Structure 1
Amino acid sequence: MKLTHKFKIPYKKDLYHQLKNKQLESGKCWSDVVRYANDHYFTFKKWISTSELVKMTKNTYDLHSQTVQEIVAKYDENRTSTLTKRRNGDKNAKYPWRSKRFFSIPYKKSAISVKDNIIILKNSNYSNKLSLKNMVEKKKKKGWNETVKKQKDYIEIPNLAIENLSNISYAEIVYKNGSYWFHYVIEVEEEAKVKRFKPAGSDLGEIHSITLATEDKALVISGRAIRSIKQRRAKLLSELSKKISRCKKGSRQQKKYIKAKNRLKSKSDAQIEYLIHKSTKEAINFLVQEKVSDLVVGNPEGIEKNSKKDENKKKKNNKTRRQQLSGWSYGEFKQQLKYKSELKGINIHFVNESYTSQDCPFCGGRHKANGRKFKCSVHNTEIHRDVNGAQNICRKRFAMETKSVDVLYRQPVWYRRYLTVKKRKETSDKSIAWRKA
């Protein structure tokens, strides 16, 4: 199984300058591919093949040949997915058309070398390279076989990965909030699947980020910490945006505010990412402890769409609620639950979660929950509304009996308080040693 991890590249002026130049070159490659492919379509009324694009872009950019091929592959993947959407009825889906000044730099296994505590990223420099337009015109001529002189170029970054990178298969250099990040893909082994059949349901929410429920046990993980960070970030970003708009463009004060904005985004993103990781880890530990074989997750996708235009959704959601829905990180929760479940040998299924919080397990009717408790007016019994939703999500796929449920409440730990001093010191020492080198 493949997993994606990342670490922040420590700031070093020369290194960041190199990465910025390669990002510019990568953006130029993407823009040229999009422009040439679209011109070919409007001229000949058919799409150019991927192999032809690879030939046209060969020896044209100061990047590794596999990097250029991966950019072309990304374009082709985007184009294919758009074609599939349009054939399925989504006429608003657009083919790639936008040019980009900067683009993430992809590296395949052949362009990555790991030595000691350094990761070497291979690139190329061409002394007499041609533009894509001139390259296309020359390659159309018969008998053209001009050689292009190539020089090898290397970028060295510190190896701050926790895992052994000997089995790395793919990597990308990504720019985010004023810093460069190294994203890498590694192969890991999955655990043997659980033989005994025992299903569980999962209800994703905002106040309670994850609710897991079996027939007789349930786990409710609070999501209030994540929500409070997002609310505070939205408030501070709004204040900073107002201050930036009042400043003179290019002034020192404006640059200070922009740096503060990037710092706030970077810090809050790290906090939210860590809390999501701890929440999903707590959930998977509960599933392993209960020996669950199949997990059914409710899919809330589309709940935030058209909440202002759709009259029915507009009545239910005010401005504050729409902001909460737009900032809800259910996609990250789904992704992490999926790969962590597969690592532990647990089968995962996704179902539509409509009306699962209103269906009554006692009388089979449909009632609206009042507060955090779901009460059955017929049998005069009650159950936690999120636990009821999780069990009903499971019932959409597998049978589950109605029993009394023991509910456990958990809070994801805070990052600074529980991060071990030793681990924090090791990471800090690595970054400081790299900056001084």
Structure 2
Amino acid sequence: MSRCKNNAVKKPKAHSLEQAVDVLVGKFPLYLNLKQTLLVRNLQMEAARVWNAACNIHRTIYGRYGYWLSEGAIKALLKGKYGLHSQSVQAVVETYFECCERTRELHLQGYTEWRYPYRRKRFFTVTWKKAAITHKGRILKLSNGWGREPLMVKLPQRLTSTAILQAQLVWHRNQYWLHVTVEKPALLKVQGNVCAAIDPGEVHALTITDGNDALVIAAGCSGRSTA
């Protein structure tokens, strides 16, 4: 999953225990047929074209006129020109500008050897935001824009009942993976101010006590005693 804050899904604020949710990232490998493999390869190459264009435009305008174009201006220039969903194009531009911002911060800290993005890329991570995602059961449909073939993948069973907010196509361990940002009901937090001590042992796997009660956990059984 991209670490860029612009592509991160913010955790919604909860006003009650019933509304509380956790935003998590699930990762799983994709087992694709030949047609799907060609599709995802082309998608990553198209995302790389967006990156290269953003980099070229940004540096060229500055080189000629001494002016840095804004993120919104480059998004407008690239809109509708690539074979990706519009928000997938925007995500690449957002990642590019975050790299520029990180470099600027490093320069302010004295690390002037760091260069602003300049390398051409052949492949790049593809990001689908919520508007491009359709989820029904184990089938996840990722839109690539009007009139283009979507990417259809099968979700692991553990993710079928979750709300999917974002998906990213990455290359990892010589295989395509999908990183999905999901929303799950938050675990109920234990209320109270009681502390417990835990002691791993050799005879018993674990002993837990709060100073009054003790719980001994052993392989295959457990016992409870009062201290």
User: Which TM-score applies when normalising by structure 2?
Assistant: 0.72
DSSP-derived class of the 2:128 partner: strand
Note the C-alpha offset of 1:111: 0.6
Paired amino acid for 2:129: K
What is the match of residue 43 of structure 1? Answer: 64
CA root-mean-square deviation: 2.5
What is the match of residue 311 of structure 1? Answer: none
Paired amino acid for 2:167: A
User: Which aligned pairs between 1:93-108 and structure 2 lie closer than 5 A?
Assistant: 93-108=114-129
State how far apart, in whole Å, the 1-side matches of 2:92 and 2:70 are: 14
Q: 2:176 aligns with which of 180, 184, 195?
A: 180
1:59–1:65 CA contact under 8 A, matched in 2: yes
Tell me: CA distance 1:72–1:218, structure 2 relative to 1, closer, same or farther (3 Å): farther
Q: Which moved more, 1:15-24 or 1:181-190?
A: 181-190
User: Percent same amino acid among aligned pairs?
Assistant: 25
Where relative contact order (Cα < 8 A, 6+ residues apart) is larger, the structure is 2
What is the match of residue 78 of structure 1? Answer: 99
What is the match of residue 60 of structure 1? Answer: 81
Paired amino acid for 2:83: D
DSSP-derived class of the 1:151 partner: coil
Note the C-alpha offset of 1:195: 3.7
2:30–2:178 CA contact under 8 A, matched in 1: yes
What is the match of residue 193 of structure 2? Answer: 196
What is the match of residue 345 of structure 1? Answer: none
Query: Is 1:167 matched up with 2:163?
Result: yes
Q: 1:112 aligns with which of 125, 133, 138?
A: 133
State how far apart, in whole Å, the 1-side matches of 2:104 and 2:187 are: 34
DSSP-derived class of the 2:159 partner: coil
DSSP-derived class of the 1:153 partner: coil
Note the C-alpha offset of 1:38: 1.4
1:174–1:183 CA contact under 8 A, matched in 2: yes
DSSP-derived class of the 1:2 partner: strand
User: Which aligned pairs between 1:246-285 and structure 2 lie closer than 5 A?
Assistant: none
Note the C-alpha offset of 1:53: 0.7
State how far apart, in whole Å, the 1-side matches of 2:88 and 2:209 are: 45
What is the match of residue 143 of structure 2? Answer: 122
Paired amino acid for 1:185: T
Larger Rg: 1
State how far apart, in whole Å, the 2-side matches of 1:83 and 1:12 are: 43
User: Which TM-score applies when normalising by structure 1?
Assistant: 0.39
Q: Deviations along 1:289-339, whole A, 9 cap, x unmatched?
A: 678xxxxxxxxxxxxxxxxxxxxxxxxxxxxxxxxxxxxxxxxxxxxxxxx
Structure with more helix by fraction: 1
State how far apart, in whole Å, the 1-side matches of 2:209 and 2:49 are: 52
DSSP-derived class of the 1:169 partner: strand
What is the match of residue 3 of structure 1? Answer: 24
Structure with more strand by fraction: 2
Note the C-alpha offset of 1:57: 0.6
1:29–1:71 CA contact under 8 A, matched in 2: yes
DSSP-derived class of the 1:120 partner: strand
Aligned residues: 183
Structure 1 moving runs of 4+ over 3 Å: 216-220
Q: Deviations along 1:32-56, whole A, 9 cap, x unmatched?
A: 1111111122222232101101101
Paired amino acid for 2:29: K
Any unmatched runs of 5+ in structure 2? Answer: 1-21, 211-227
What is the match of residue 241 of structure 1? Answer: none
Q: Deviations along 1:195-217, whole A, 9 cap, x unmatched?
A: 4275xxxxxxxxxxxxxxx9x65
